[in-house]
């Protein structure tokens, strides 16, 4: 049997909602963040994988929500970028309490709490075994954190982008499995299929960036114990988009 090949360098995309919990009224659930940090620190140490993380801010604020309520879209998006920094700092704190050196790099300058995003510095941190958390989105309105993850993965020459899902969905389906019981799970799908069938993987800009840079996407259930380890080890898990 051919052994799986662990990825050398990966970017993990976490939604902001993954840091919250339905059992808590808090926007950031300390127990959930602690569990994620435990999983992440252990797998980085075991596999020696260079890991960068992009975290969303939807548990605190969504730009589209503000825009839908009449707020200026650019202003609403900047507020969402600031929310990602809050999540990044929470995750950094938890990782470092587990002994995993971590750096937060923000696309929006805030020197007191985070480094500015500098590509070569980020790659050097990764080479030294530090986890790098990219916050502040792309630094521009009208772009999602999915697009940020695709952009940063291409920039730092990652082998794969890992899209961690929550809410019990463990990959890409032909339809929303929470609404359509006949939805079929797709273990392997091409970028062309995603675009042609309008499958809900990521936004169109992120998918196009990955396609143009030959960057595969692994969509998997983030919240199942051991799944982060399996994904970084290169095991077949969830759905591979390539």
**pLDDT tens by residue, 93-120:** 999 999 999 999 999 999 999 999 999 9
According to the model, what pLDDT value does residue 1 have?
40
> What pLDDT digit, counting tens, does each position of 190-213 carry?
999 888 888 878 888 999 999 999
Identify the three-state secondary structure at position 208: helix
Q: Where in 64-136 does DSSP place strands (E)?
A: 102-106, 115-116, 131-135
What's the length of the chain?
242
pTM for this predicted structure: 0.93
> What pLDDT digit, counting tens, does each position of 5-40 carry?
788 999 999 999 889 876 666 689 899 999 999 999
The answer for 168, left when phi > 0, alpha when psi is -120 to 50, beta otherwise, is left
According to the model, what pLDDT value does residue 100 have?
95
Do the Cβ atoms of 83 and 57 come closer than 8 Å? yes
β-pair type (50-55, 9-14): parallel
Query: What's the average model confidence in pLDDT over 203-230?
Result: 92
pLDDT tier, 62 (very low <50, low <70, confident <90, very high otherwise): confident
> What pLDDT digit, counting tens, does each position of 114-147 carry?
999 999 999 999 999 999 999 999 999 999 999 9
According to the model, what pLDDT value does residue 2 have?
45
> Is pLDDT of 4 > 80?
no
Neighbours of 228 (CB within 10 A): 23
Q: Where in 166-241 does DSSP place strands (E)?
A: 172-173, 185-186, 188-189, 217-221, 239-241
Q: What percent of the chain has pLDDT over 90?
A: 62
């Amino acid at each position: 049997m051919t052994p799986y090949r662990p990825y050398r360098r990966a970017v993990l995309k976490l939604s902001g909602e993954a840091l919250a919990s339905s059992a808590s009224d808090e926007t950031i659930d300390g127990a959930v963040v602690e569990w994620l940090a435990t999983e992440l620190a252990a797998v980085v140490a075991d596999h020696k994988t260079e890991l960068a993380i992009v975290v969303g801010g939807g548990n605190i604020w969504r730009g589209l929500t503000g825009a839908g309520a009449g707020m200026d879209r650019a202003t609403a998006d900047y507020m969402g970028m600031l929310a990602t920094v809050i999540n990044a700092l929470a995750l950094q704190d938890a990782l470092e309490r587990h002994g995993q050196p971590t750096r937060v790099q923000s696309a929006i300058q805030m020197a007191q709490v985070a480094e500015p995003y500098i590509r070569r510095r980020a790659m050097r941190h990764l080479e030294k075994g530090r986890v790098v958390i990219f916050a502040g989105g792309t630094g521009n309105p009208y772009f999602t954190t999915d697009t940020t993850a695709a952009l940063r993965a291409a920039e730092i020459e990652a082998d794969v982008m890992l899209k961690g899902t929550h809410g019990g969905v463990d990959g890409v389906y032909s339809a929303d499995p929470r609404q359509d019981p006949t939805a079929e799970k797709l273990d392997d799908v091409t970028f062309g299929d995603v675009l042609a069938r309008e499958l809900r993987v990521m936004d169109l800009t992120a998918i196009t960036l990955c396609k143009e840079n030959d960057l595969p996407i692994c969509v998997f259930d983030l919240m199942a114990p051991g799944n982060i380890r399996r994904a970084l080890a290169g095991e077949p898990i969830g759905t591979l988009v390539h």
